[in-house]
Structure 1
Amino acid sequence: MSKTRIVFVHGMDGYGVAAWPAQHRLAGKYDCLFLKRTGFDAVEPPKPTDFAADARIVIDALGAGGHVVAHAQGAIAAMMAAVLRPDLVRSLVVVEPLLLSLTAELAATAAHSTQVANLQARSKELTDRQFLAEFNTLMAVTTAPNTEPLGRLATRARLQRPSTEAPLHIIPGVPTTVITGGWEPLYEEVAQYLDTTGARHIIHRSGHRPQDTAEGAALIEELIATAEAAAETGSAKTDRP
């Protein structure tokens, strides 16, 4: 019997396996794929954000179907994939999701968007180190998982499109859980919005990367197991004559 697939979609602080240090052990039980979004590569030059291409990467990784776990900016590709192919997504877990096109008119998102626009407007005036420092602060990026040269990181950061430009829609029929760290109004605003659309919101007070803690990792594993059991039950009922 084949293992259940889980697709992990990173944010800005690392990519591939390095972005999910506490989720490695799940590979013993699940078929885990740790993705690299467009422009995130150790060899190829950084590229501008491509929301549609990132969604396709997620869809292709799902194969015959599975669960999707995404962090920060990675939640955009995850949600777009779920909208395009809800039949493939058994459940969606988004951690501190930067789904700002859904909340563009709300206070915290509007303030954040203004700060991002101001930074981009001053981009040419700043050194790589200066730009990256401000960008990482705005995006709550930790550089710990990423050991790439500073210039490469800054180039990639400069090429990021604002999250408010992502063509997002609410996901019909996909069980969705939002995990936030309870520390930043921006992410709580997004989570509260998703809660009004039927998503489950869980606050795990551990900063911007709750998935790195033992408790956060256990929570994600529990959510996947519960969703998988529900999916199997539903499939069994459908198969009955």
Structure 2
Amino acid sequence: MTFDALYVHGAGRRGTAAWPTLGHEHGEFLSFDAGSSVQEQVGVILRTRADRRSFFFAHSIGAVPTVLAAASGALDVAGLVLVEPALYDIVRGEPPVERHISAVTEARAQAADGNLRGCWAILRPLMFGGTFDEDAWDEERPLAEYWAQTNVPWGHAVRPHLLTGIPTLVITGGWNDEYEAIAHVLAAHGARHQILVGAQHRPQDLPEFAAHVAEFTSALSH
């Protein structure tokens, strides 16, 4: 890859670890401050890329500030690669999405009432599978604390028309109805959608990911 890129992480891995199959000699890997809001993250992207034409890569909830920044009109955006983008605002009303939002809302209410265990009993199977295990609580408590207060990917006024005119590749893992519904809406508004099965929420970990990205970016450069 010879283009200048900005890589935006999701809620998990950061830096080059978030994009293990891409060449790391080009571009910049953001790492947002812990606890930063989505709007603060938008500001970081705008400041980071104000003076150069860039491709933007974003994973999961990282797609929210990335799309908002790309749509601001303040940046020179060559294209977007959105991996399992958590753009829940564009699919409100879809049953799997509303079930997810309802469960997270209930879990956070439990945490706000001081019942972090009750929160984790809801979030753990939703986010990671399995059930709450009292014997694993001491080990998993930091995860519970993190997911009880991290940003949620809805309520940010993201709309599919924000990407009009921006070449966009959406890559999903074919494992989750919520992300496939989001990709379907984006594809209906002009995005290219590719499903890469085998790594669930992290298709960028698959060796074929880089080839699909290269094909997309190469086509845009001609």
Give TM-score, length-normalised by structure 2: 0.82
Residues 50-102 of structure 1, C-alpha deviation per residue, up to 9 Å, x if partnerless? 11111122222324121001111011011111111374110001111110011
Q: Identity rate of aligned residues, in percent?
A: 29
Instruction: Tell me what 2:174 maps to.
Output: 182
Query: Number of aligned pairs?
Result: 206
SS of equivalent to 1:102: helix
Structure-1 separation of matches of 2:150 and 2:185: 24
Q: How does 1:158-197 map to 2 (within 5 A)?
A: 158-169=148-159, 170-197=162-189
Structure-1 separation of matches of 2:209 and 2:125: 23
Instruction: Tell me what 1:35 maps to.
Output: 30
Q: How does 1:55-66 map to 2 (within 5 A)?
A: 55-62=42-49, 63-66=51-54
* Unaligned segments of structure 2, at least 5 residues: 130-138
* Unaligned segments of structure 1, at least 5 residues: 40-46, 142-148, 231-241
Note if contact 1:6-1:67 (Cα within 8 Å) is conserved in structure 2. Answer: yes
Give TM-score, length-normalised by structure 1: 0.76
Q: After the TM superposition, which of the residue ranges 214-223 and 72-81 deviates more from structure 2?
A: 214-223
Q: CA deviation at 1:134?
A: 5.1
CA RMSD of aligned residues (A): 2.4
Distance 1:81 1:140, change over 3 A: farther
Residues 146-203 of structure 1, C-alpha deviation per residue, up to 9 Å, x if partnerless? xxx9665443322223211122132231101111111110100001111111111111
Instruction: Tell me what 1:119 maps to.
Output: 107
2:59 to 52, 56, 71: 71
Q: How does 1:1-241 map to 2 (within 5 A)?
A: 4-23=3-22, 26-28=23-25, 31-39=26-34, 47=35, 49-62=36-49, 63-85=51-73, 87-123=75-111, 124-127=114-117, 131=120, 135=123, 137-139=125-127, 153-169=143-159, 170-206=162-198, 207-227=200-220, 229-230=221-222
Note if contact 1:94-1:179 (Cα within 8 Å) is conserved in structure 2. Answer: yes
